[in-house]
Structure 1
């Protein structure tokens, strides 16, 4: 239905407009019945619908819904189409339950593996997180249901999450932490965003004008509204002025009065309130009009999708002697309480009441033709090593052909609300694996965990399958993969470190009482391990298959490009094994020589392809300016500097056998004005000023050499000339001010320098 929202706003009282800026209760917005504005319902996500039967009653039970794999698992699929399909299913369930906005996806970066909420988040890599988040948003919103991308921004820990001040430099903030939100906003047009509890560089996210207005509204062009995380409000009027539209949940009438009184006192321009209401109404009407009374979805189809998704997300980490897939005729010892009572989702606000639940033990018994016996192995309620349970498991494993152990992290080890302090599984799980593997060399470990773990038992196990928190169908999906009905194709969306001490944020997580300093800067995840040449337990992008793949060729359609152009990169990959399978082709860009600090390589493209035995495929990627750019803090924008870039492709960040080069010519200017401190290398990269910079440097070099020769002659010291030669190598990194005085060879005065700067700015139109 077409509505004139501005006309509607003009008919509203100041009090009515202010009332729309806070919720009605825990899950609903307020209606303004006098002018026909409805209330809408929102509820928790992101991997399933956590709706309370009565949205106004916090104590009411949540309705049954499909529990899909959590974000950590879904991202391991690297499958855009699958994520979009899951999003569509979530949208359908929202329609059936009369929910207009689902809170998710959660796209925060995995800065440290200790973050208690990492099971909800997609990746340590901002490009991958952005792509997964965008597909999720598109899937949900295609059904007419809104999303709320969260938690904006730099919310990377649970410790002191309500009050911690995140100190992060501008470049790191934009390249790593904001980049993950960009795709969901600019590509998928997310209707709402949820701001985080924490502060960023001294301002609460709920009143951070840089985040909410400068980046989100102005740079990215977001047209929807921003809501708080539940209770993430500091000063209500200040938040509204900074770009926060909706406070959730309802916190009493005084919040609305604050807005009214601020307008009446002239402290708040009513136009700011009107713009907020316009944004709110745009989304409210969009979602309200898409409601479908009596909508019914296919529960069995959604469960089947959850099963497919869980199988696609599983990552085969080890498969010694090709123990997997299992032969259905083999006798099996299934061990571990998780096989019978699965750990399938994370704790906290995303906890779903599943519509049904598949445990692995009955699914394995259904798939197997040989004998299947079970031993509990460990208790679920504590971390005590139970010698009796372990002895039973060891005896059972020794009597069968293969042992399959289900282990991982209990909910008490990881959840929203607290961060982990170590990477260890329960001692009872680790001891069980060691003892069983010692008695049975054919031991498979299936993991259920929301984040990386240390694996001191890795050498003992023949095969390891990372299942993450796979949702309500994780048990049947595990059986599908174990018996080869599904060929594992997941790849890690995060690095698994050997130890906590190896991790990038080890010295700066979780910070002090008031602030946390992101001292690792850009070097998050694989960027750090690559730069340090550290070998992790398993690298980013890693995952095995029951078949094999060969990377045969990489081609680029041009060797030279301007940053206003794009380049086509084609990678040929072949299935060289005997089984059909899927491979995730990963494309990274490596700056060969940069004037600024940059990670050794960064993910800039990926594609999942399905190949029959012997079949090959050509996968084409299009790379534009952003694939080569860094965030330039002088111009506060992305800048691709002139230079050579290596484009590499392969099956993981640590294995990129294919390589091609392209030279990028920058057409931008890496500064706002030429000043005394503008560097020669910056001017060399600009065609209009390159000749001047080259001549100025040569003149300075010549003057310095003459001075060096005089000093050397008077002092009788030939080594002084070597010193001046060394200085010349770094001349390009000097600022223009070096033209005057000693370092300029004594030929340029301060007045000359001022004139040069004026002429350069005129030349560049600055």
Structure 2
């Protein structure tokens, strides 16, 4: 796949075809699978035999989809281990929808050797795990189920990966699962394994980074930017399909952790959750009022309580306590918007036993709502609580903020 770059001496208007040639020496005898992707004309020769000669035209009028999600055809051929064969793919791209001056190519040639069945591979993995000190299983989504170009139909890992993890964990309780996905997935086996780590499509340095973290040279320092459900059905917002071209956002601002906080079913992992190789005690929180666009600064004192250096992400959430307008306190749930929201965070590092202070500016915007009558942002007068901790659900310190006065442009909420 390439955009804007072609070999020297070839421009987009002159490009007619591309040919890939080489040799393949199979390491096993049996039915080998060859896959060809791309829209246009493709001719594939293996060992002098034409095993693919076809023309594919995009189903969609959208050239972007044709470019990013090219169709694939697969073909099999019996080959003998150790016998080298020639491989040649001649590809003539289909340019429908593209300007002649845009240098763009999207096609592929793939190969898969003979493999055992899924059940046989899982049996092999379980046997290997039983004989190992530690088992490491990498599971993943693929471009076939997760993409920016289409919605997912569910949150399950594709194929038999859930069964694979459960079988390996049953064979070895010291199983570490690496989840290579770009968004939440169901993990029904999460309580069966010793550890779970998310690696978020890390790219070509994935192997080196993963080895460093697993072996302790580096610490997993990330925190969840999303809330992860135990099951898809638990998600508070699922209906995202337009009807007659219209999608109604009935949930308003209650999405993500804000929506989860309003329902009884808890998620598997809350927004902000994440573990490292040390632990932290939260010792003190101090709030200093600010001015202008800054409501104030929250200083949070934390201490590394383990025997190795570590990194902590201190998160600050704002809660409305009550609005005294009219002489009667108003419950948090009756205020417009979510009862608790993230308003800031800071990362700190400290050696073993050392304390450090995180300073988190709190924006004044966090106490405001949009007034449609005034056509402006207005502060909600009342008492607030700033809560600091490790995630939305793990809050350890708090500090009070009093906005009970009503300067011009502020709004009081009362029964």
TM-score between the two structures when normalised by the length of structure 2:
0.69
Larger proportion of strand: 2
- What does residue range 30-49 of structure 1 map to in structure 2 within 5 Å? none
Return the structure number with greater helix share.
Answer: 1
Q: What aligned pairs does 1:178-577 form with structure 2 within 5 A after superposition?
A: 386-506=118-238, 508-558=239-289, 566-577=295-306
CA distance in 2, matches of 1:484, 1:532: 38
What secondary structure is seen at the aligned counterpart in 2 of 1:557?
Answer: strand
In 2, Cα distance between equivalents of 1:412 and 1:494: 22
SS at match of 2:353: coil
- Aligned with 1:566: secondary structure? strand
- Residue matched to 2:79: none
Of 360, 364, 380, which aligns to 1:625? 364
Residue 407 of structure 2 is matched in structure 1 by 667
Partner of 1:52: 4
Matches of 2:170 and 2:363 in 1, distance apart?
A: 53
Paired with 1:542 and 1:605, the residues of 2 have a C-alpha distance of 15
1:195-228 superposed Cα distances (whole Å, 9 cap, x missing partner):
xxxxxxxxxxxxxxxxxxxxxxxxxxxxxxxxxx
Q: What secondary structure does 1:663 align onto?
A: strand
Q: TM-score, normalised by structure 1?
A: 0.38
Task: Write out aligned runs for 1:22-171 (5 A).
Answer: 51-54=3-6, 57=12
Counterpart-to-counterpart distance in 2, 1:386 and 1:496 = 28
Cα offset for 1:533?
Answer: 4.5
Distance across 1 between alignment mates of 2:244 and 2:379: 39
Match of 2:87 in 1: none
Q: Is the 8 A contact 2:294 2:361 kept in 1?
A: no
SS at match of 1:477: helix
1:611 positional shift: 1.1
Cα offset, 1:631, TM superposition? 2.4
Higher relative contact order (CA 8 A, sep 6+): 1
Contact map agreement 2:293 2:365 (CA 8 A) in 1: no
Distance 1:396 1:495 in 2: 34
Q: Does the C-alpha gap of structure 1 residues 251 and 638 become closer, same or farther in structure 2, counting only changes over 3 Å?
A: farther
The answer to whether the 8 A contact 1:424-1:454 is kept is: yes
- Provide the residue aligned with 1:655 in structure 2: 394
Q: 1:563 to 1:385 in 2, by over 3 A?
A: farther
Taking the aligned partners of 2:2 and 2:345, their CA distance within structure 1 comes to 32
d(CA) in 2 for partners of 1:516 and 1:636? 25
Could you say if the C-alpha distance between residues 385 and 505 of structure 1 is closer, same or farther in structure 2, counting changes exceeding 3 Å?
farther
Aligned mates of 1:543, 1:418 — CA distance in 2: 28
Seen in structure 2, the aligned counterparts of structure 1 residues 562 and 472 have a Cα distance that, compared at 3 Å, is closer
The residue that corresponds to 1:638 in the other structure is 377
- Judge conservation of contact 2:136–2:178 (CA < 8 Å) in 1: yes
CA change 1:607–1:249 in 2 (3 A) is farther
Q: How far off its partner does 1:502 sit?
A: 1.9
Q: Which runs of 5+ in 1 are unaligned?
A: 1-48, 62-159, 163-247, 253-348, 354-378, 671-681, 686-731, 734-766
Instruction: Provide the secondary structure at the position in 2 that maps to 1:472.
Output: coil
Structure 1 vs Structure 2 CA RMSD: 3.3
The CA distance in 2 between the partners of 1:641 and 1:60, in whole Å, is 64
Is the 1:505–1:519 Cα contact (8 Å) retained in structure 2?
Answer: no
Shift of 1:596: 3.8
Q: Is the 8 A contact 2:221 2:274 kept in 1?
A: yes
Change (3 A) 1:593 1:533: farther
Paired residues of 2:303 and 2:350 also in contact (CA < 8 A): yes
Number of matched pairs: 315
Please give the alpha-carbon distance, in whole angstroms, between the structure 1 residues aligned to 2:371 and 2:292: 15
1:717-762 per-position Cα deviation (integer Å, ceiling 9, x unaligned): xxxxxxxxxxxxxxx66xxxxxxxxxxxxxxxxxxxxxxxxxxxxx
Residue 321 of structure 2 is matched in structure 1 by 592
CA distance in 2, matches of 1:565, 1:459: 42
Distance in 2 between the 1:415 and 1:421 partners?
12
Q: Distance in 2 between matches of 1:549 and 1:440?
A: 30
- Take 1:53 and 1:60, find their aligned partners in 2: how far apart are those partners? 15
1:568-612 C-alpha deviation (Å, 9 max, x unpaired)? 211001111111111001011111236742201111111111111
1:413, CA displacement in angstroms?
1.3
Structure 2 counterpart SS, 1:387: helix
Q: Quick one: distance in 2 between partners of 1:460 and 1:567?
A: 44
CA distance in 2: counterparts of 1:419 and 1:642, whole angstroms: 41
Q: CA deviation at 1:250?
A: 6.6
Deviation for aligned residue 1:652? 0.5
- Flag the 1:605–1:401 CA change in 2: closer, same or farther, 3 A: same
For 1:438 and 1:60, the matched residues in 2 are separated by 55
- Quote the Cα distance in structure 1 between the aligned partners of 2:393 and 2:308: 25
Residue 416 of structure 1 aligns to a residue whose secondary structure is coil
1:627 Cα deviation (Å)?
Answer: 2.5
Query: Please, which runs of 5 or more residues in structure 2 have no aligned partner?
Result: 18-59, 63-96, 324-333
Q: Does the residue aligned with 2:314 lie in a helix, a strand or coil?
A: strand
Q: Which residue of 2 aligns with 1:609?
A: 348
Contact kept in structure 2, 1:582 and 1:608, CA below 8 Å: yes
1:582 maps to 2:301:
no
Counterpart contact for 1:397–1:439, Cα < 8 Å: yes
Partner Cα distance (2:246, 2:268) in 1? 30
